[in-house]
Structure 1
Amino acid sequence: MVDLRQYTLHPGQRDTLIDLFDEHFVEGQEVCGMHIPGQFRDLDDPDRFVWLRGFRSLDVRAEALKAFYYGPTWRAHAEAANATMVDSDNALLLEPIQLGPDYPQVSAPRTSNSTPSVITGMVHPAEPGFEEHLIHDLLPTLGVAPLAIFRSLSVPNNFPALPLRDDTVLVWFARSPDEAAYRRWEGQVLRLAPTSRSQLH
């Protein structure tokens, strides 16, 4: 399962948060039992930072978040990180429907020498029957091989210190497709530029 997190930041503060995140919060969270497969600049909003955080199970989620947010790395850098943020509550808890071969494993490299790319994400309202329509009709028609497809995981939030959205959605990511084709669909289009230490790029 993953959290999809979209942070609204104070103007001009995104690179400050990214520097903190890439230097301290990637390994700082992974040593607590989480996986950070991707972190991104939103190309359409200079004050939005988007990232993914994975967990092996719901029980692991609770313990890993406690270990990180009550641990030394967050205590050392929380004030500086929080000072960049207007809102950090836009978060979805998702379970995978499909993970493509290019979706990063925990051991995937983190390198600053990756070829720049754009990841497109779509967040759709999950109307009845839309999941099957998306997978079997829409994406194949557009020639899109998704990196990953997720659906909302409707369970109680077992770390209530971090709120979660309660809407039901489908979310998918693909590498550098023509995102203009998706703007006629209902939902949020994300055009994302990976940071230098994002595994997903």
Structure 2
Amino acid sequence: MMENPWPVVELRQYTLRPGTRDVMIELFDRELVETQEEVGIRVVAQFRDESNPDRFVWMRAFPDIPARTASLTAFYVDGAVWREHAPAARATMLDTDNALLLRPATADSAFDLSGQRPPAGAHELPKSRALATIYYPGCAPEDFTEFFDRRVRPALGVTPIGCYRTDPTPNDFTRLPVRTETVFAWFALFPDADARAAALDALEESREWTERILPELRERSCAPAEQLLLAPTARSLLR
């Protein structure tokens, strides 16, 4: 098995000022992708949250926690690009603290990041859609991961492209807070919105899911699951 070069992932959900999401995405896709990657960050995905017109969701990855600290310092503290564009980005933002620091749940559950990102200047939106589901385990992370693989995954009807759980390593880049609760998150991609809707409808209609799996999930969770319906931007790597 090939070693995953990007095991540390941030899942970031930004609440933006009403009507500014397209402004933020245009700025991000134009100015903040390659410039982050130049300092050792892998920009994984950018999404519009289709359930909330004022939410921008994105992910980035790092080789390890020390590399994360060094790259974030290079970009946010020492870098001229963020200094130049921060005022315009911040003008769109209301809350940027909803961030999770994650690691692959198992040795083979990381994203495949070998694809090609559309080039700078690309504006065509893909038809594909993503789904992110976040669970809040009330048991040990290892036990929840085993339960997910044994009971939940076979009942989903879709194949996750990635399964992650909280990285417990302390966040030593305190300028960017991360949430500290324990989570388990799985992600799926679909060719279009209709395919995603059909998959969700099939789950709702499945007696195995509604009568067996969901009660077991609730027993093992300390908070309701969170579901994100996501549309990739024109330059998202995951699409």
TM-score (norm 1): 0.92
Ranges in structure 1 where 5+ consecutive residues have no aligned partner: none
Structure showing greater radius of gyration is 2
Do the aligned residues in 2 keep the contact of 1:120 with 1:179 (CA within 8 Å)? Answer: no
Quick one: structure 1 residues 102 and 152, their matched pair in 2 at CA, closer, same or farther if it must change by over 3 Å?
A: closer
1:53 to 60, 71, 87: 60
- Selected match of 1:80 from 85, 88, 92: 88
Bigger shift: 157-166 or 91-100? Answer: 91-100
Distance 2:110 2:165 in 1: 19
Percent identity (aligned): 42
Q: What's 2:22 paired with?
A: 15
Return the alpha-carbon distance in structure 1 between the equivalents of residues 24 and 167 of structure 2. 28
Change (3 A) 1:168 1:143: same
Partner letter of residue 161 of structure 1?
A: R
2: CA distance between counterparts of 1:100 and 1:165? 22
Structure 1 residue 169 corresponds to structure 2 residue 169: no
Give the Å deviation of 1:130. 2.4
* Structure 2 stretches lacking a partner, 5+ long: 1-7, 191-195, 205-209, 218-223
- 1:134 shift after superposition: 1.3
**Letter of the 1:93 counterpart:** L
Q: Verify: 1:179 aligned to 2:193, yes or no.
A: no
Residue type at the aligned position of 1:38: A
Cα distance, 1:28–1:96 mapped onto 2, change above 3 Å: same
Shift of 1:127: 2.5
Provide closer, same or farther for how the CA distance between residues 16 and 114 of structure 1 changes in structure 2, counting only shifts above 3 A: closer
Distance 2:76 2:111 in 1: 30
Tell me, yes or no, if structure 1 residue 103 matches structure 2 residue 117: no
Out of 90, 114, 124, the residue aligned to residue 135 of structure 2 is 124
1:195 is matched with which residue?
233
Q: Give the Cα–Cα distance (whole angstroms) in 1 for the partners of residues 181 and 110 of structure 2.
A: 28
**In 1, Cα distance between the equivalents of 2:117 and 2:109?**
19
1:149 correspondence with 2:163: yes
Query: Which residue identity lines up with residue 87 of structure 2 in the other structure?
Result: E
Deviation at 1:124, TM superposition (A): 0.5
More helix by share: 2
RMSD value over aligned CA atoms? Answer: 2.0
Q: CA deviation at 1:196?
A: 0.4
The residue aligned with 1:42 is 49
Residue 34 of structure 2: aligned partner? 27
Q: Deviations over 1:15-61 (max 9, x none)?
A: 00000100011111000100011010000000000000100011100
Counterpart for residue 158 of structure 1? 172
